[in-house]
Amino acid sequence: MTHVTQAIWSRTDKFDFAFLPILPVTNVITLAKLSSVWLNIEHDTFYRQHGLNMTKYILSISKGGSVQYISSPELGFLQSISGRVNRKTKLVFRFLDATRSDPSSNQTYGSLLSNLTFIKTVASGIMVPKEYIWPVTTNNYIRPAESIVRDAHSAGLEIYASDFANDRIIPYNYSYDPLEEYLHFVGSDNFSVDGVLSEYPLTAAAAIGCFTNLNVSSKTDHGSPLIISHNGASGDYPDCTDLAYQKAVDDGADVIDCSIQMTNDGVPVCMSSINLFDTTNVQRTTFSNRASIIKDIQPTPGIFTFNLTWADISSSDLRPKISSPESLYYLVRNPVYQNAGNFFRLSDFLTFAKDKDLSGIMIIIKKAVFMANSLGFDVVDSVTKALSDAGYNNQTTKAKEVMIQSEDSAVLVKLKQLETKYKLVYALPSTIGDASASSLVDVKKFADAVVVDRKSIFPESQGFIMKETNLVKDLRSAGLAIYAQVFRNEFVSPPWDFFSDVTVEINSYVQSVNIDGIITDFPKTVRRYKMNSCTSLGVNMPSYMRPAEIGALAQLLNGSQAQPPALAPMPVLNPANITEPPLPPVAPKNAPGGGANGSTPAPGASPSGSQAAAVMRAGIIPMVTALFASLLI
């Protein structure tokens, strides 16, 4: 039996093995029941050339009244059925690419666009590719809108926009958010189409029904779930730059974050990675010869923040680099601004945040033991001193909650012992699916909240959600606030269950597990979600805003050869995973300009300064030993 298969490679092929049948039009009409049906008739001229009468067929099936729209890119076909279909049925002329020709009139669609008055004599509406309304540049940014919506309405025509799909690359202006794209077409009294043709009606329905006419820039509260930036608005600008932080504030973040790294001269800076290869263009600068391998950090070469001074990092030669976490799928972010912005010192970050409409800040401390042992930096002391110097310990107005996050329990234990008033946040291992009661008791001794990976809540198999774990329930029973990370807009990021729409994903985490905070590269998307007009409707909430049924999509494949494999048991958090020795005392600093202890130059790199000295110290003894041994042979 003939069955449908995957045709778009950004979508799963698993349902190829479900042997879903091709449905006759009459079956579709029966399935639609009370819904209206839109029939699109392509290639009428071709059918007539082969002795097939499409006009007769359409007239025969449209008598029941459930077919409310008939569209065609051939004006001649619409003329052939005009006045002969149910009077409630609307005829819609469908425009294709402007350079192509309508085979029934031999006119290009571009030329027909200038004669809407004539089209009105045949049809009640037009359907156009969305680029007719918002043209797109060759580098994938939208241009100013054309006048076609106003022109169509002036001619008495309804206008529908086509070619919407969540899993296509849309203009960068929309930040990979399909809802943002829809809202450029609907919701404005002066500029709104009458409908959209979408391959993902769930997203289109939500955009029109729940998200139009929202003032996203207006913050009404900083309530749950908190919107916590991930390296600022890093989906739009390079991580941890002034532009990313300002965008996060403008887009409605409740909390902005700073991941602490240390420079060679002891300045704490905000950077998402200790390795400048990840966050800057350092390979193309005069600092490129400082590459080394530091096994305590990574087994591959890097140039690290502590190899450069703050003056080096803030120089015009070194530029930020936008992150592209989905580059494996050739999805890049905002390329026009890929090297824009300037990095912040921690002191700059604290000054910036102080007078902004934020509920708090989150400071993230990593590799504290390494910094103490190998670099001679007490990062905990550096952070607490910066907070004190910036006035965060004695705020009288516009108080901000200070959160300090770490995956190292020793960092949080030390802060707890210092009796700080900061909210301490423990980052759980990314692979766990549950937590023992004794581990929760231990975590609660030093932490007020936890950060969990999304997949620890809804684990996946081959992109399908298989179940909900008990982790959130257990953490909440221990009195811990729960922040989930990292939510991204790119359509490959959510599991299949969320239909390539991060808003559907966010909605499920909020409604299904009542998450306390969402850590995201795109704060605007979460802010819009929090402001939607539907989730407060209770039993009257429309079905398209209800959370996805967890595991339901995978269940459709049960018994087929495409059924996703069962999940392996997920690790359980135990006290042994948590308990760490106290932070070590700070070791003497290396000589100025140097790298960390144990560093070796990368192949082809020229060690400089004390890095070369460190390498010499590490290598001189075995070299002498080898030479002495060879003399004895």
Q: Which two tokens stand for residue 258?
A: 């700073």
607 vs 596: which has the higher pLDDT: 596
Give the C-alpha separation, 476 to 298, whole Å: 35
Contact 611, 593 (CB under 8 A): yes
**Mean pLDDT of all residues in 337-346:** 98
pLDDT at residue 17 in the model:
79
pLDDT at residue 65 in the model:
66
Closest CA to 172 of 322, 364, 9: 322
Return the CATH number of 226-239+252-266+361-578, one of 3.30.360.10, 3.40.50.620, 3.40.50.2000, 3.20.20.190: 3.20.20.190
Minimum mean pLDDT among 91-100, 105-114, 308-317, 594-603: which range?
Answer: 594-603
Residues 6+ apart with CB under 8 A from 483: 226, 228, 425, 449, 450, 451, 452, 515, 516, 517, 518, 519
User: For a pLDDT cut of 70, what percent of the chain falls above it?
Assistant: 90
Q: What is the pLDDT of residues 91-122, one digit of tens each?
A: 999 999 999 999 999 999 999 999 999 999 99
Q: What is the CA radius of gyration of the chain?
A: 30
Q: Is 504 helix (H, G, I), strand (E, B) or coil?
A: helix
**Mean pLDDT of all residues in 345-358:** 96
For residue 70, is pLDDT > 50? yes
Residues 6+ apart with CB under 8 A from 163: 129, 130, 131, 197
For residue 357, is pLDDT > 50? yes
For residue 610, is pLDDT > 60? no
Give the C-alpha separation, 464 to 365, whole Å: 33
For residue 608, is pLDDT > 60? no
pLDDT at residue 622 in the model:
36
For residue 397, is pLDDT > 60? no
The per-residue pLDDT of the chain, averaged, comes to 90
Contact 346, 269 (CB under 8 A): yes
Instruction: 54-62: list long-range contacts, CB under 8 Å, 24+ apart.
Output: 55/80, 55/81, 58/85, 59/84, 59/85, 61/25, 61/26, 61/29, 62/86, 62/89
pLDDT band at 275 (very low <50, low <70, confident <90, very high): very high
Per the listing, tokens 């879903």 go with 20
Q: What is the pLDDT of residues 171-218, one digit of tens each?
A: 999 999 999 999 999 977 668 999 999 999 999 999 999 999 776 656
pLDDT at residue 373 in the model:
94
Q: What is the pLDDT of residues 427-444, one digit of tens each?
A: 999 989 999 999 999 999
Instruction: 609-612: list long-range contacts, CB under 8 Å, 24+ apart.
Output: 611/290, 611/292, 611/307
For residue 129, is pLDDT > 80? yes
Type of residue at 321: K
